């Protein structure tokens, strides 16, 4: 079963923004469907070896996505909707609606359901973006850690001979 891209993306949770260096964009996931490959990781390591600014921009962007804190805003919004739902429930228990005003409780419920739908979609998109960033960041960091630097490589050969 494949997931629809509309359920895992959100305009409120972009992968690439104007804040990302143009040189770094090619090394970052552009969507939840972007695949991490060994070739892509190798291209990152070799392509950014002589450009530490680009390397730091890529790693910084992935770290920012990996710790986006979207859960806080989503939790506060969900709490607000719960409080509003309770308040609407009290209002409906106290007030007597007749005629067209009888539609007020139905409109309240509809508004809460629509709001919850938007929040859930944003929460899923933020979570998937976070998991994608954690995966890419881990792969890049592992590749960088296993790649000997020019200085240490030279030091090893001095001690070996």
Residue burial 16-26, b: 16+ Cβ < 10 Å; e: rest: eeeebeeebee
Please tell me the predicted confidence (pLDDT) of residue 151.
Answer: 46
Q: How many other C-beta atoms can be found within 10 angstroms of the C-beta atom of residue 161? A: 5
Per the structure, how many domains does the chain have? 1
Domain of residue 48, residue span: 14-160
144, 49 contact by CB (below 8 A): no
Position 34 in a domain = yes
- pLDDT, tens digit, for every residue of 92-140? 777 776 777 777 777 877 887 887 778 778 778 888 888 889 999 999 9
Position 93 in a domain = yes
Res. 31: pLDDT tops 90: no
Position 23 in a domain = yes
- Closest-CA residue to 43 (of 28, 56, 27): 27
Position 5 in a domain = no
Position 3 in a domain = no
CA distance 58 to 16: 11
Tokens of 139: 């792969």
- pLDDT, tens digit, for every residue of 35-57? 999 999 999 999 999 999 999 99
Position 115 in a domain = yes
Position 39 in a domain = yes
**Higher-scoring residue by pLDDT: 6, 140:** 140
119, 74 contact by CB (below 8 A): yes
């Amino acid at each position: 079963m494949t997931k629809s891209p509309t359920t895992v993306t959100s305009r409120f949770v972009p992968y690439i923004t104007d804040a990302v260096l143009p040189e770094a964009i090619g090394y970052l996931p552009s969507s939840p469907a972007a695949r991490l490959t060994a070739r892509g990781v190798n291209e990152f390591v070799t392509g950014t070896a002589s450009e530490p600014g680009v390397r730091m921009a890529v790693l910084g962007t992935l770290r920012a996505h990996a710790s986006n804190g979207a859960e806080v805003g989503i939790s506060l919004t969900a709490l607000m909707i719960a409080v509003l739902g309770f308040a609407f429930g009290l209002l409906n228990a106290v007030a007597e609606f007749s005629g067209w005003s009888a539609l007020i409780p139905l409109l309240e419920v509809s508004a809460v359901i629509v709001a919850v739908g938007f929040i859930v979609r944003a929460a899923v998109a933020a979570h998937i973006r976070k998991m994608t960033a954690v995966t890419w960041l881990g792969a890049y960091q592992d590749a960088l850690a296993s790649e000997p630097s020019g200085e240490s490589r030279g030091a090893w050969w001095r001690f070996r001979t």
